[in-house]
Each structure stands twice: as C-alpha cells, then as structure tokens.
Amino acid sequence: MALEKLRKEETLAMRKRLIGQSLRLFYSEDPVKIVRARGQYLFDESGKRYLDCISNVHHVGHCHPRITKAAAAQMELLNTNSRFLHDNIVLYADRLAATLPERLCVFYFVNSGSEANDLALRLSRQYTQHEDVIVIDHAYHGHLMSLIDISPYKFRKLAGQKEWVHVAPLPDTYRGIYQEGHPNPGQAYADTVKDLIEEVHSKGRKVHFNTDPYSFTKICDIQNSHPGGVFVADEVQTGFGRVGNHFWAFQLQGEDFCPDIVTMGKPMGNGHPLACVATTAEIARAFTDNGVEYFNTFGGNPVSCAIGMAVLDVIEEEDLRGNAIRVGAHLKDLLAKLQTRHEIIGDIRGVGLFVGLELVTDKEKKTPATERAAWVVKRLKEEHQICVSTDGPWESVVKFKPPMCFSMEDAELVVQCIDGILTEDAFSDTKPINH
Amino acid sequence: MALEKLRKEETLAMRKRLIGQSLRLFYSEDPVKIVRARGQYLFDESGKRYLDCISNVHHVGHCHPRITKAAAAQMELLNTNSRFLHDNIVLYADRLAATLPERLCVFYFVNSGSEANDLALRLSRQYTQHEDVIVIDHAYHGHLMSLIDISPYKFRKLAGQKEWVHVAPLPDTYRGIYQEGHPNPGQAYADTVKDLIEEVHSKGRKVHFNTDPYSFTKICDIQNSHPGGVFVADEVQTGFGRVGNHFWAFQLQGEDFCPDIVTMGKPMGNGHPLACVATTAEIARAFTDNGVEYFNTFGGNPVSCAIGMAVLDVIEEEDLRGNAIRVGAHLKDLLAKLQTRHEIIGDIRGVGLFVGLELVTDKEKKTPATERAAWVVKRLKEEHQICVSTDGPWESVVKFKPPMCFSMEDAELVVQCIDGILTEDAFSDTKPINH
C-alpha cells in the first residue's frame, strides 16, 4: 500500500472542500499529515518522526500487532450482531467485570463514549424517574444533543443551561474557589454539591451526578448522605489504567466508593469504535422493565469484543499500568524541577500518564498564559517533532496523555525540550505570536 | 482460533447474567449460536448452515476477504483521529460525493446511524433555528435520546410525543389511510404532510422533515412548495444500492428531488461501526458559523474509511446493485405466484433486495396475521435453517433484507420453503402456537 495517495496540498484542498469545517485540524496553520504510526511515534509523509503525547485513544501504542491480529482473525471468521449468541461478548463482559466492584455487573456495548453517556442518562432517568443532573463546571461528556445539555463546556456556547441541569464548581485546588490554603478543600467542594442536591430535593426531585471521577473529592460522603440518586462515573478519558495505581480513576476515591454507572470509551478499542456502559443489576432491571428493546446495531459485535479483549491482554502482559506509574511519576518530578527555574510554570498536576502543566503570566495572580501555552505547543511540534495539546477553561494547560508505552526517555526528552523553549522564549516576548 | 470457547448453555447463562436484558436475542426461546459466516451463510457451533435473509448490515456478504484485507492493511499502518490530515477521509468523501447529487458535497463521519441522525438534527436546527420536526408514523431513527423523541415507534412506548414533533401518516397503500383504490394516493399522502407544514408555519415556525425516503411519495412537490425547511433522508437502512436501480432510495423519487441532508449507516462498513452525514455547503456553513467545534473521536479514522472504500469497490466490482435488481425481482415474482395459492398472503412489496411479505388472517379486512408470521419465522429456522424476521406495526410482515450477494437459488429455496410451511400450516390451525 502506498503510504501517500495524494500530495499534501491536494489532501488539504480536498479536506477543505469535502469535510465539515467544524471538524478542526491540529496545527491548523500548518497541519501535519500522518501516514504511519507505531507505539508512541507518528510518521509524516516525508518519514519525519513525531513523538505522540496526545493519543490517549491509542492506549497500548499505535498499530499494536497483537490488536491488528485479533481484529483480522475475528473479521475473517464472523462479525454479526449481538442478537445472535456469541462467546466474545460474554467473555469480554466477564473480563471487564473482573476490573470493577462486584455490584457493577451488567454491561451494554456501544460504539463511542458519547453513545455510552447518552445511554447512561437514559438508564439513570428510567431508574430515578427524574431528570435533574449535577455536572461539574467545564465538563464535556460528548457530542450528542443530550450530552451538550449536560456539558457546560459546550452548552454555554450553544443552547444554554437547562432548568434541570445543575453545575457544581470545578474542584480545582490551584485556581478554583477553594484552593490549597483552604483547611479542607475536598470537603468544601463536596459541600457545594450537597447544597445543589438539597436544592433539587427541596423541589421533590431526585438527582443524577455525572462527572469525571478523577477530578472529584469526597464523592463517597455525598453518595452515602443522599441515597436514591445515581452516580455516573464518566471514565471515557480516564479508564483502563491511565491513572496507573488503579484500573479506573474512580478507585482513587478509595474502596468505599462505588459508582452506580460507569461509562467507558476512548482507549477501550485502541482506536476501534468501542465503548460500554456498566451498571448494577437494579438499574439494568428498571431499564428492562420498561419493556422497550435496546438494540445497538454494531455494539458488542464479535470483532469489537475481540479487539477489546486484546487491549486488556496487552495492558496486563506489558504491565502498562506499572509503566504509567513509573513514567508518570518521573514526568511529574522532572516538570517539578523545571518549575523551580521557570516563573511561568504555575502548577503541575495529574495522575499516572494524565499530566498537566499550567502556565501563568503572573504567579501571584495565576493569570492564564494562554498565548504562551499555544506557543509551547507550536515550538514543540516545529522544532522537536513532539505533539502535545492544550486544555483547561483558558487553554493554558499543556496536557500529556500519550500512549501508555511512553518511556522514561520520552519523558526526559519532552521536559528537556520544554526547558529549552521556555528559556529561549524569555527573550522573545516582543515577537508577535500567531496561533 | 477455536470456533467455540464456551458450551452453548454456558454462553447463554453468562449472557443472561452479564448483558443488559433490554438487548434481546433472535429466537429467544431457542437462540442460535453463530460462530462463523461467509457470504449469505451463517454457521452454528455444530457446523449447521443457515441461509441469512436478515443481515442487511453485512451488505457485500459476511467476512468478505476484500474488506478484511483492507481493514488489516490499514490497521497495521495507521489508525489515528481526524484532527490529523489523512488521505483516506478525503478520498472516501470524494467517492461518496460521486454517488450523490452535486449539492450534497460536505461530509461528517461518525460511528453509527444513530450518531448520524443526531448530528442531522443538530445541523438542521442550527440552520433553520427552529426545532419542529415532521416524522412518518411508526418510524425508528435510532436509540439515542434525541432520536427516541422523533421515533413514533419508540416514543409511544416511552416519554410520549413532544409538542414540536408532528407525525404524518405512513404512506402505505395496502392498509394506510389512502389505499390502492384511491385516485392519487401519492398526492393524498403528500397533502397530509403539507397540512402539517401549514400548521407549523401558522405558528411562525419552520420545519424539518425526517423520513425514510423509500416509503414516501411526492416529496419533491412538498419541498418546492415550502422552501426554507430542511429535508433529511434517513438512508441508514436503504442506502448503498439495496434498492437496486439506484444507489440511494431517495433517487426513487426522480431526478428533480434532492434532500438537504442524507444520513447513512448500517451497510456502510459491512459490520464495522461506520456512518456518515452528507449535506449542502450552506447547511455546513451555518454549523461552522456557530463557532463550536464538532469532533468525533473515532469518526472518519483511516481504518473506517479504508473499510468504507473497500465496500464501495465490492459493490461495483461484483455488480451487487445489478444482483439486487435481478434477485429482488425474481423473489417478488415467486412470492406473487405464491399469493395466488395462499389466502394468507395479503401483500407483497419492496424494491431491490428489501422485500416484505404481509400475512393477513382475512383478506378483505386485512387483519394482521401476527401469530402466523411468527410461526413462519420459527418454522423457517427450525425446519429449513433460514433466518428471516418480522416487521411492521403488527409484526405481520415477513421481511427479507439479505446480504446483497443473495442468489436466484437462495430466493427460490426461501419461497419453496414458505410454500411448504403455508401449505402444511393450513392443517395446523387448531394447534396452539407458542412464540
């Protein structure tokens, strides 16, 4: 197979003409054309190699031969729908169940994290018979209409906030409403949620929580004090061992905590469209009892499940969680050392191989250094062929979520390059910055 | 790879325990375990062969080697997301554009027909700035929350009809409100839609149409008389040549008609999760102009697009549209002959390889023979290893939507077996029927 079928300019021209422009390109000023990838490396049409710190979806590494082999073998044999009995769907569900608390024992397979979050909403509404939802500020739960309604990151720019949506503050101890100096920020953030719950209850209604569990604190406390609500842990970004010490981010909350629904997606199929909802027998029963069939044409097909199982195999056999612990810690240590030398580094946070480096123009005022963050991304790509992205309400956080095979040497290289850029950048303040 | 990893009873027990029961099994009383498939044939764990008249998704035939090869080759090379520039997404969009009228020239790739219909709703709302939708009675547009709202087939059993949803009667000339005897049923059904439009316009609002274009008549007339609305053709079931004479079912309406949005799904990836929305430059621009990014994690990835192009190749090279015309016509002819001998056959309808056989207990009253249809499905499976399903508001229609490689001999076999069942069944009227 020829690696490039069109000249880059032609690809770009066709893309502008044929593909909806709401779908944006990375590095839109000078987009990268990637034709090949392996492990944590991307290769462009000229053979230039990029270190990939962006592709959390390609969890066990790009084009892992084990995954390709499993997919091709099952594609040759059978890829029918889940209305026929098949071993793969039940064996895969069983393997996922082994990673979760015992009460999360019923599975629904779908094709994307968005489909999973939409189904989670349906399940929890059917169970509670109420529609109120508490979400965390700045959250994004997916691109579907139902999910834009519960994603402050999107609805603020679109249809606005629905009456039944309640937004809790982002539990950010760096620049949130309760910061490091506070005696008990975890409790204080939990109390903001409790207040929202009381408000909903005072109207005689029940509530669902929908959150990225990684960012939250004292969830267990909230859950225990308000039985009857449904807690949805959105593990689409954070699951499958990315946080290192645990398979699921919600497990960072301790053993006492168990969500009522867990949604999973992105890394689950290493790029193959595969996602899932896990829930309790009780919630599943309420959904079945409405008497309406739920059928997802592609969800849980034998090929998707074969790929999902191969991903679990590789995570275990290559000890990728162990790698996330070791390399993630090393990356944070190196960034912490960098912070002592660069005033612009405001905060370093994250767990496992999900790490953020927040840049500020003023350390006291914590003024977001949005332009500088974009500049770092641009320079890392242009000078060093390293792909990173920005995130956060002000796009001031340089984010690392590489394939889980990211190495100690990769971490060292990235930090060394950032060091160089920040050092040199101190002299370029007067240059106009285009991004 | 061992074809069976668990004994059938074990698979069934694990399925009951681990998979949400809202997902129903075919032949729930005695489910079939399929371990292998090829072309139009399914094979169970004992090697027994079933003729497949159900799997419209596996459009070019189960496990087509050409598709597997294309998927594996691209998986070995690269499967990144559509924020990087890649040839496959633009080449595939270009190939799809060649099958459509010129004005449908902008593409969004997603993972399922449901995701496509949800995005179509977002696009048309953003463009019209109104939310009213006209849908056809009994329609099903997908499993997402937004689509249950516009699917009478579902919302009648669930949350009920929203104020902004308007249901037009099913244009069914067999048992609908205007039947064959009517001087101009096509016009009469179109007029019911026009009335709904007038009603919406009288409130100062605009309207979208969302329909399976195959079932509709005189659409062009409606469209011309009410500019400013958006016509969405849901081709998730009917596209990619299934109707034989045309690549898209909406083309049955004649060359004057062009929808504003076309959604596609099921057959597109021959089982791989792949779907798409095609629209006009004007509607795409309105969506881009809201300034909000639309990103679909897996949508339009190089592997999905490679598979999609391979499906188009096989449709062309094996002349599957030609086959759908020839075999579909033969199937309808044979069924028509059967009708002269069996009182229970009320109607035969369909186009290409999408054919329905409606059973009635009383030919004058057109009383749906729901139990008899279920009996035919059961006997075809048990006695002849032929898989068909029922459809329609009363599940009285035996439906044929086989892989497009379905042969003349397959059609003859199916009709011969139905003949036998209906003949024998005339003598079993007093037997209790369990299904």
Among A330-334, A429-433, B377-381, the minimum mean pLDDT is found in A429-433
Strand order in the sheet with B275-279: B106-110, B275-279, B261-264, B230-234, B207-211, B132-136, B165-168
Q: Which residues of A touch B85 (CB under 8 A)?
A: 8, 11-12, 15, 25, 31-34
DSSP-derived secondary structure for B44-71: ETT--EEEESS-SSSTT-BT-HHHHHHH
CA distance B85 to chain A (A): 4
- For residue A208, what are the β-bridge partners? A133, A230
Q: What is the pLDDT of residue A429?
A: 47
Mutate which of A290, A297, A304 to disrupt the B interface (most B C-beta within 10 Å)? Answer: A297
Minimal Cβ distance to A91: which of B5, B34, B122 = B5
Q: Report residue B20 as tokens.
A: 């949400």
**Residue B432 scores a pLDDT above 60:** no
**Residue B375 scores a pLDDT above 90:** yes
Mutate which of B18, B261, B296 to disrupt the A interface (most A C-beta within 10 Å)? Answer: B18
Cβ atoms of B288 and B85 within 8 Å: the answer is: no
CA B14-B19-B25 angle, to 5 degrees, is 90
**Residue A356 scores a pLDDT above 90:** yes
Q: What is the CA radius of gyration of chain A?
A: 22
| Residue in B73, B400, B15 with CA at minimum distance from that of residue A92 | B15
Q: Which residues of A touch B108 (CB under 8 A)?
A: 19-20, 22-23
- Higher local confidence (pLDDT), B406 or B206: B406
Query: What are phi and psi for residue B163, nearest 5 degrees?
Result: -60, -30
| Mean per-residue pLDDT over chain A, rounded | 92
**Residue B424 scores a pLDDT above 90:** no
Q: Which residues of A touch B265 (CB under 8 A)?
A: 297
- Nearest residue of chain B to residue A85 (CA atoms): B33
CA distance A300 to chain B (A): 10
| For chain A, domain boundaries | 8-60+319-425, 65-317
B65-317: CATH class? alpha beta
Q: What is the pLDDT of residue A294?
A: 94
Q: Do A83 and B25 touch (CB under 8 A)?
A: yes
CA-to-CA dists, residue A271 to A4, A27, A275, A379, angstroms: 21, 21, 11, 27
Among A209-213, A396-400, B262-266, the minimum mean pLDDT is found in A209-213
Q: Report residue B395 as tokens.
A: 């599940």
Residue range B301-327, pLDDT digits in tens: 999 999 999 999 999 999 999 999 999
Q: Do A77 and B4 touch (CB under 8 A)?
A: no
Residue range B236-255, pLDDT digits in tens: 999 999 999 999 999 998 88
CATH superfamily name and code, A8-60+319-425: Aspartate Aminotransferase, domain 1 (3.90.1150.10)
Mean pLDDT of B397-424: 97
| Residue in B295, B297, B263 with CA at minimum distance from that of residue A154 | B295
Q: Which residues of A touch B106 (CB under 8 A)?
A: 18-20
Mean pLDDT of A289-294: 90
List, in sequence order, every beta strand (DSSP E) within B245-382: 261-264, 275-279, 345-351, 354-362, 367-368
Mean pLDDT of A244-257: 92
CA dist., res. A423 & res. A94, Å (int): 51
Cβ atoms of A174 and A180 within 8 Å: the answer is: yes
Q: What is the pLDDT of residue A433?
A: 44
Q: Is A142 left (phi over 0), alpha (psi -120 to 50) or beta?
A: left
Q: What is the pLDDT of residue A227?
A: 72
Q: Which residues of B touch A17 (CB under 8 A)?
A: 105
Tell the burial category of B268 from Cβ atoms under 10 Å away from its Cβ (0-12, 13-18, 19+). Answer: buried
CA dist., res. B418 & res. B94, Å (int): 43
Q: Which residues of B touch A30 (CB under 8 A)?
A: none
| Residue in B258, B251, B234 with CA at minimum distance from that of residue B115 | B234
Taking one residue from A and the other from B, the number of pairs with CB-CB distance under 8 angstroms is 335
Q: Report residue B308 as tokens.
A: 């999609």
Residue range B314-371, pLDDT digits in tens: 999 999 999 999 999 999 999 999 999 999 999 999 999 999 999 999 999 999 999 9
ipTM of model: 0.95
| Residue in B257, B262, B259, B255 with CA at minimum distance from that of residue B220 | B257
CA-to-CA dists, residue A182 to A179, A188, A350, A356, A402, angstroms: 6, 9, 20, 22, 33
Give the three-state DSSP class for B320: helix
DSSP-derived secondary structure for A194-230: HHHHHHHHTTT--EEEEE-GGG---HHHHHHHSTT-E
- For residue A272, what are the β-bridge partners? A270
Predicted confidence band of residue B204 (pLDDT cuts 50, 70, 90): confident
Q: Which residues of B touch A15 (CB under 8 A)?
A: 85, 89-90
Give the three-state DSSP class for B389: strand
CA distance B294 to chain A (A): 5
**Residue B435 scores a pLDDT above 50:** no
Q: What is the pLDDT of residue B427?
A: 46
Residue range B87-128, pLDDT digits in tens: 999 999 999 999 999 999 999 999 999 999 999 999 999 998
Minimal Cβ distance to A90: which of B18, B57, B279 = B18
Mutate which of B297, B301, B395 to disrupt the A interface (most A C-beta within 10 Å)? Answer: B297
Mean pLDDT of A11-28: 97
Q: Do B62 and A78 touch (CB under 8 A)?
A: yes
For chain A, give the percent of residues with pLDDT over 90: 79
CA distance B152 to chain A (A): 13
DSSP code, position B58: S
**Residue A237 scores a pLDDT above 80:** yes
The residue count of chain A comes to 435
